[in-house]
Structure 1
Amino acid sequence: MLTIEMLRQSSALTGLTDDQLNAIAEMSRNDENTVIGTKIGALHGQYDTDILGITGIKKKDGEKSYDYAKRVLGEYKTKAESAKTIQTQLTAAQAQVAELQSKLEKGAGDETLKQQLKDAKAQVTQLQTQLQTKETEFNTKKAEFDKTIKDTHVDYAFQAATAGLKFKSGITEPIQKTLLNAAKAEVLAKGTPDFIEDGQGGKKLVIRGADGNILNNPKNNLNPYTMQELVMETSLKDVIDTGRQQTGGGTGGFGSGSGGTGGTLDLSGIKSQVEADKAIEAHLLANGLTRDSQEFADQSMKLRTENNVASLPIR
């Protein structure tokens, strides 16, 4: 999202009034909200489909995805409470068996008491079987649900990391899909996806190696690998067009560049500064930078300069 401060740093916008700058910033903000809303909606749709596939519990008409997931988890909680109830009954039955056994050992060995002990033991066996079945069912469903949620996050991160990549000429769309699937398999072969605190109240995706340690990128100050960095270390790097497109005979061409971050920024086809700034922002976010960081602002201005964004019309 473009801010007033970022706009004021552009020499191409010198002379615009504060009202004009505010209008551009508001357009950027509204456009970003639309894009984010669309992506969140698509992600929620994936959640809904996966929850239904695993649990068989349908989403109600008009029910929000958050409420749907909460309700499903609530039903799992009910199953857990059911297992707890069985455990309570089992404990009571085991106590009864112990009591009857004690009476028999003390010589109170009438037939009625023996039958009661036999019935109590049968109840214990039955309750143990029920409890084991409930626990197995619950743990299996929970593991499937957790895996699906994690897989959905990984899929979304991979899609975001590869969305702006430009394949070399001659590589058809079916082949591109095959190459993308192969690259994803290469990334997942490096380790197990996990989520850690990002220091800002949220979570971020990392990959843990076979030893359980987070994979860090030696080319990025040993920070945890981003999905985009991992993608660019797969065989996909050999089929991506990383060349900078030049305009005219100068040295400050407009096209694509890395800007010191992982992956490649492709600005070919961009027709305005607003479009370019959106692409730069998406590129930096995919590399794990946050909008409120100084590095984000520095890299944004660097990419603008490298790609001669100021030479484009504002919109």
Structure 2
Amino acid sequence: MQFRTATPDDEVSLAHLWHTAFGDAPVLALWRCDPGRHDRTFVAVEDGRILSAVHCLPRPIRSATGTVERVGCVGSVATLPRARGRGLVRRLMTAAAEAMTADGCAWSLLFTGTPEVYRSAGWETFPAPSWHGVLPAAVAVPGRPGIRTAGPDDLPRLMALRARFDRERPLTTVRTEEDWRCRIPRWYDDSCLTLVTESTGAGGTAQPGGFAVARLPAHRTEIVEIAVTGPAPAATAHALLAAVAARARTAGRTEAVVRLPDVPEVRGAVRRLLPAAEAVTEYTGMARPLLAPREAVRATVTAPGAVHWFGDSF
């Protein structure tokens, strides 16, 4: 067994591994967005084939104090079925943690449905709010502000809204224009719904007040991102969520999962739309201190209103 970083010659084997583990998820396309991907991908190789892999990507993420830290984000973790149970991921995670520390990362972040795999390597879960409920059969969508589907020309508006809403929000990634053009479309593809609110400002110019993004898997809608600004953020949040719900109902979805920050304007909008919704604390996020104190990392991932948007997944 050989443990090392990846090379360009490994790309075919990595593509096979990730397709086996994740199906049609955009893992390979996202990995190729990282110019330093080979040196940041740790692999276990046997007889010329990659059995297991871990990719770590440094990202600028806001802390509980509002400062931006370099955080090692771990993703694309996979092992071929025949090689599981041999401790390969733990060994690769150790190598990744050492590399992230040497790279100046304050701490490390990952998301998983199998946290027990990573606890022994030093990562700890943290809570994230969500609401689960049944969509009403009929949804009244406020006529103001105007709501429409976002298009390619809205990119500058969405960027500005996101930056304003996240200005001091802990756990959020500081997105670049390259992120919007390369990474966001991989997660928010044509199967997703992105709605933007719009009103007429001074001089007749269109003024966006917010946007929301929903994924539409079978039988339900998942509202995974929102940004609201202006003098009435609660009303904007309600209008956006109601518009998402109406379109989801038209598309045959009956259930909703809302994964947004637990802040007053969002909480109020959820309660108006889904009065019987169940508040559910999820534990798919995990963090590990590297150069930062454990208490500082914990403060960031548990801060009021903290959220890591689905579009910033890695």
Report the TM-score, using the length of structure 2 for normalisation. 0.27
- Taking structure 1 as the reference length, the TM-score comes to 0.26
- Larger radius of gyration between Structure 1 and Structure 2: 1
Higher helix share: 1
